[in-house]
Amino acid sequence: MTIRGASKRIIETLLSWDGIESHPHRFGGTEFRIGRREIGHLHGDSLVDIPFPKKIRDEIVAAGEASPHHILPDTGWVSFYLKEEEDVEKAIALLRRSYEIALRQKSR
């Protein structure tokens, strides 16, 4: 299932954040970075993959906010599937969390 136009809305939102750049992702889709650090990537209008420190990833998965990464389930990555219209905002919120972590780590 996909949400038509989800990737366009997510891309437009993320590119409005300071320091975010988009690039083609090596496995397809669009990758978002702040400097050299990836904060997540989109696979069309259906899937968002986002990296987190493992502890935060575990909290997100335990809360049911996202699933373990579809290929690398034992890492800090999560996968978030866009199934309903409101999932677009949920994906943006998760990406924002990754972005804020990256900003804090960059300023150290």
β-strands 37-43, 20-24: how paired? unpaired
**In this predicted model, what pLDDT tens digit does every residue of 52-105 receive, in sequence order?**
999 999 999 999 999 999 999 999 999 999 999 999 999 999 999 999 999 998
Note whether residue 74 is domain-resident: yes
Quote the pLDDT of residue 1.
Answer: 65
Which CATH number do you get for residue 37? 3.90.1150
Q: Whole domain around residue 61: which residue ranges?
A: 6-106
Note whether residue 13 is domain-resident: yes
* SS3 labels along 43-93: ECCCEEEEECCHHHHHHHHHCCCCEECCCCCCCCEEEEECCCCCHHHHHHH
Total domain count, the chain: 1
| Residue % of the chain over a pLDDT of 90 | 87
Note whether residue 1 is domain-resident: no
pTM of the entire predicted model: 0.94
Gyration radius (Cα) of the chain, Å = 13
